[in-house]
Structure 1
């Protein structure tokens, strides 16, 4: 799907789209279209509420054209996220019509810079256009090929084209993550995930190194290997490096993605319904791979090392068991009380590695870690545990650009007591209460006081149904937020 900028109000597309505010002056509409709008409004058939779409036909310049009015809601409440939602609904209506091209009038707002507006338009439509149907034998290619953004003044054409280019890079990175999550576990094994990362790195421009099980053992990743040893599919440790800031070589962000390509729960086995979507338990890995793709392709001035401890959590005579005491790369011992609390056991070795071996100065781990975060925050918000308020504030600023939602959970010392073991240094679960917090703090025991963010995406990495620009299956969260966090904390309007 190509996005093209036009300076006039060309009507070369199959459908013309007019984004409208509830209190719009309608300066961008012809008198005929103003009359249509006022009639629809008086009959309460179109109020320009957010995401509301109305399709009709009208004669323009002597030709019958299909027209879409799409509501943007109240002008003073406009945000980039609302633009994404509105334009996603336009895209869906266009696909229903089976058309080849759409022309959308550019949105003008005092609340958002022009680049953010254009980016949001592109992101909303391109993300909503995604569908994972590669295994359907009767799948059909979509007809929609071109989307025009109209009425862009001459002096803003270059800005619009740059915004489109960045938005397309972010969309491709997000869809890359969605694809990785949506692939079944018999396709994306740990070894195959490593191959995928290597291919993506080669194309995007970042280095990828893959460690096999012998090399993982040599590194001393005992906790990771305990989880991995129950499966016939051998683990892989994936290291991705991008160095785009030569002036600050010692400033390195470490991204750590949970890479359970399948999680049966081990001997603490999940029920069947709980296992069906466990191909998505590598959503954190997919997110950091996608983020690395966007960071490298747009050549951000930053140094980032992303790591993934990829394995399966399965049952066999070799598998670890409840009651076992295991060690870790950091040397700390862990009492295993539940083999379905495995993600944190892989993450701690990955976190220790990225600090000790790659010299990361800040760390973000991204993981589909706990069902408890769904109980607390639902599927709209990612839970965050951190040891650094300034770092969390950076995340919040990035989320304002991405539209993805985050919420900080408390990390009081009282919670840390819940993961202390009587017979080892730590235990891998803290009991029924505060499960998301104690899981995060377990990982926090290995961050060596580095500024750290733990993002629990168990509720946001997977969608059970389509909604706005999110499609059923893997969502690609939080690829775009990680990108903006790395982008030197600058608004897109500053470039």
Structure 2
């Protein structure tokens, strides 16, 4: 999709409010109920000279929100493509007191998201003509609109990278291939990527990570992504993404039906990669380090077992209650590494961690555990800008006590109650320093069964935008 600003060319698009219809043509359409300017309603009108005019309804002006704009223009772009309209000219007025920058960003984001298809493995792909969008505004707002569209492109590119990584199966995305993709994505940027192999991981004493990885024939990789773009700041935020590229459950094996989409269990790592991609493309001033402990959780004669007591990089011992609670083990070593070796001043871990979170919150809300309310409020503000939903779980000694082991320092499953919370607190207990920390469980939101908003079925790129706005602000 190509955007131009203030180019008067293509099929004319008129955006119409439901409560400001005045012209005769539109009044006739309303009377016949062909077009009533309801939010998202579209009508293609053939003029006497043979040209087309497309009317797009925006509902009632005072009720219109940025989310309405984003979703409406997402669906609008899909309809234009289906109608084989290849170029449009939209005159965008001042909308409900919204600034030109945010208006352009949300319109562009919605329209760009309409292009996403996952057909990598289709031998016959649907081919559509590129849609050219000529976005016309008051000349005084030209630069703001250009900047808004540019930022939307950066964000959507990051989201699409995340979606593609999560959607691809485990025979394509495994630790080594994931590491190579990361190197390729950032090789022409100011992002530094370091890849550590098996022997180097052993030297770091990442025992918890290695125990999860040891049954797989695929060698684990520790992927470190440094985007240090603000020399004036001493703050360095660690983004720790769960990178289990396939999760069989280990010896606590999952049912067959539950394993089919377990290639998506690296959704946390894909989110970190996509967020840093968006930040780098937009040249955002911040210092971020991504850490991904990438491996598979498989079965073999050498697999770790329920009942084992293993070590971790921190020195803590862990009683293994369930080999299918593996993601928190990889995150334990990764978060300790980020706070002990990389000197991160704040840390966020993000993971498709628990079915308990999905049961509690469904597919549109991510679950949060934190040790710092101020840091959470910053994330919450960013999520509002991103139009993504969060729910803060309680952090109480009651839940922390559930992780206590009688035979080791901690156990990797706190039982059936409060599972999303105990899992998060397990990860947080491996911080090397007392720094602000957020745990984000995207088990429900990273990969969905039912489309909503601008998301198709499958991978969503959830939380890429929220992390982007958090780092930016």
Q: TM-score scaled by structure 1?
A: 0.92
Whether 2:69 is the aligned partner of 1:83: answer: yes
> What residue is the counterpart of 1:464 in the other structure?
449
Among 390, 395, 398, the alignment partner of 1:414 is 398
Contact 2:14 2:53 in 1 (8 A): no
Q: Which residue in 1 is equivalent to 2:46?
A: 58
Are 2:175 and 2:219, in contact at CA under 8 Å, matched by a contact in 1?
A: yes
CA distance in 1, matches of 2:17, 2:266: 40
Q: Which moved more, 1:41-50 or 1:416-425?
A: 41-50
Distance in 2 of aligned mates of 1:299 and 1:244: 8
Secondary structure of the 2:462 match is coil
Cα distance in 2, alignment partners of residues 403 and 72 from structure 1: 19
Q: Which residue of 2 aligns with 1:233?
A: 218
Between the aligned partners of 2:53 and 2:279, the Cα distance in structure 1 is 39
2:6 is matched with 6
Tell me which residue corresponds to 1:492. none
1:287-328 CA-partner distances (Å, limit 9, x unpaired)? 100111111122211111011000000010111111111111
CA distance in 2, matches of 1:107, 1:130: 28
Aligned to 1:163: 148
CA distance in 2 between counterparts of 1:265 and 1:425 reads 23
Q: Are 1:194 and 1:210, in contact at CA under 8 Å, matched by a contact in 2?
A: yes
1:94·1:102 contact (CA, 8 Å) conserved in 2? no
Q: Which residue of 2 aligns with 1:153?
A: 138
Q: What CA distance in whole angstroms lies between the structure 2 residues aligned with 1:206 and 1:183?
A: 24
Say whether 1:128 aligns with 2:124. Answer: no
Deviation at 1:142, TM superposition (A): 1.7
Q: Deviations over 1:436-477 (max 9, x none)?
A: 111111111112321011110111111224333112211111
Q: What's 2:461 paired with?
A: 476
Task: Identify the residue that residue 94 of structure 1 maps to in structure 2.
Answer: 80
Query: Match of 1:203, SS?
Result: coil
> Does 2:26 match 1:37?
yes
Contact 1:128 1:471 in 2 (8 A): no
Q: What CA deviation, in whole Å up to 9, does each residue of 1:23-51 have, x standing for no partner? A: 2x25xxxx7xx334333434445443333
Is 1:49 the equivalent of 2:38?
A: yes
Q: Does 1:20 align with 2:9?
A: no
Contact 1:370 1:439 in 2 (8 A): yes
2:318 paired residue number: 334
The answer to whether 1:374 aligns with 2:374 is: no
Partner Cα separation in structure 1 for residue 29 and residue 403 of structure 2: 61
CA contact (8 A) 1:261 1:282 kept: yes
CA contact (8 A) 1:262 1:313 kept: yes
Distance 1:376 1:37, change over 3 A: farther
Q: Given the superposition, is the C-alpha separation of residues 422 and 18 from structure 1 closer, same or farther in structure 2, using an over 3 Å criterion?
A: farther
| Long gaps (5+) in structure 1 | 490-495
Cα drift, residue 368 of structure 1: 0.5
Structure 2, unpaired ranges of 5+:
none
Per-residue displacement from partner, 1:473-494 (whole Å, max 9, x unpaired)?
111111111110000x2xxxxx
Question: Tell me, what secondary structure is at the counterpart of 1:246?
Answer: coil
Q: Greater shift after overlay, 118-127 or 444-453?
A: 444-453
Aligned equivalent of 1:114: 100
Check whether the contact 2:81–2:131 (CA below 8 A) recurs between aligned residues.
no
What whole-Å deviation, never above 9, does each CA across 1:265-298 have from its counterpart, x for those lacking one? Answer: 1111111111111111111111100111111122
CA RMSD of aligned residues (A): 1.6
Contact 2:35–2:43 (8 Å) recurs in 1: no
Residues 1:387 and 2:371 are matched in the alignment:
yes
Instruction: Quickly say closer, same or farther: Cα 1:466–1:143, change in 2 above 3 A.
Output: farther
Contact 1:228 1:312 in 2 (8 A): yes
User: Superposition pairs for residues 277-296 of structure 1, below 5 Å?
Assistant: 277-296=261-280
Q: What is the Cα deviation at residue 166 of structure 1?
A: 1.1
Looking at structure 1, the residues matched to 456 and 200 of structure 2 have their Cα atoms a distance apart, in angstroms, of: 38
Q: 1:374 to 1:201 in 2, by over 3 A?
A: same
Q: For 1:340 and 1:110, how far apart are their aligned partners in 2?
A: 50
Alpha-carbon deviation of 1:56?
A: 2.4
* Structure 1 residue 397 corresponds to structure 2 residue 381: yes
Deviates more, 1:296-305 or 1:205-214: 296-305
1:66 deviates by 4.4
The 1:213–1:375 alpha-carbon spacing in structure 2 relative to 1, beyond 3 Å, is same
* Number of equivalenced pairs: 472
CA distances 1:388-414 after superposition (whole Å, capped 9, x unpaired): 111111111111211111111111111
